[in-house]
Amino acid sequence: MIKKLLTGVSFLIILLFASGLLNTAMRRRKQTVQAARDRKAAQRFRDSTFRANNIDTLRTYSQAACLRFHGKPLLAIGQQIANLPATFDYRANLELERFGEPFMYEYVSFDSYYSAANGDLGPNGSLWLMTDANGRILGLHGVWVITSIPDKKERLAASQEIISWLPCLRGQLDFEHYIKIVLEGKEFKEEFEMTPANDSTWGRLNYHVKLKPLL
């Protein structure tokens, strides 16, 4: 009788142990399946975000951007951010969310090269660079703040500085009127928008590189 009772207790213990193992295995399987679903959902969201911004992380871009740094192109769309010129000053942007796109990383530059030599009297610029998780540059935005420049010589000097940074604007700058210029390229377009300064506000020159739709 006692032997049968012990046998029954042992069987019950084994059954409970096996049941616990089964429940643990089933719980882990559910967690694994859910994690896989979450990864797929995140992948779909990332892909839709990239498509919305015409981003292809595998594409090689050959079109040259207008922006210059000491007479040479600052960057090529699609290049590694680590390959920017060693003298170009930039850092990870932890404060602002100008692009606001998930799965992308943003860097900001206030490099003195993109500000006027005469300080407050001329344009003062900043750049934002957007990369994917692998460090490829896939977005570029520049902003120059421009004070009112009534003197013609100073205005000419400011114009020459802007052209040294953005030579494709040669002959198209206007410090007195709003202008918008769009340069269409095969792989991306470059947009320039200039708002003149007045008695109450500073002027601005905005520069955007926007990728073309994926083929």
State both tokens at 57: 């992380």
**Residues in CB range of 160: below 8 A, 6 or more apart:** none
In this prediction, residue 81 carries a pLDDT of 93
Instruction: Give this prediction's pTM.
Output: 0.70
What are the pLDDT digits (tens) for 7-57?
655 665 665 555 665 566 666 666 554 544 544 444 443 445 555 566 666
- Round to whole Å and give the CA distance between 111 and 133: 24
In this prediction, residue 151 carries a pLDDT of 74
**Residues in CB range of 93: below 8 A, 6 or more apart:** 106, 107, 108, 128
Residue in the structure block whose two tokens are 């399987």:
29
Closest by CA to 68, choosing from 162, 137, 139, 158, is 162
State both tokens at 75: 């960057």
- pLDDT in single tens digits along all 215 residues of the chain: 555 544 655 665 665 555 665 566 666 666 554 544 544 444 443 445 555 566 666 666 888 899 999 999 999 988 899 999 999 999 988 755 444 555 578 899 999 999 886 666 668 899 999 888 788 888 899 999 887 776 778 778 888 889 999 999 998 888 888 999 999 988 889 999 998 887 667 888 999 998 887 65
State both tokens at 29: 């399987």
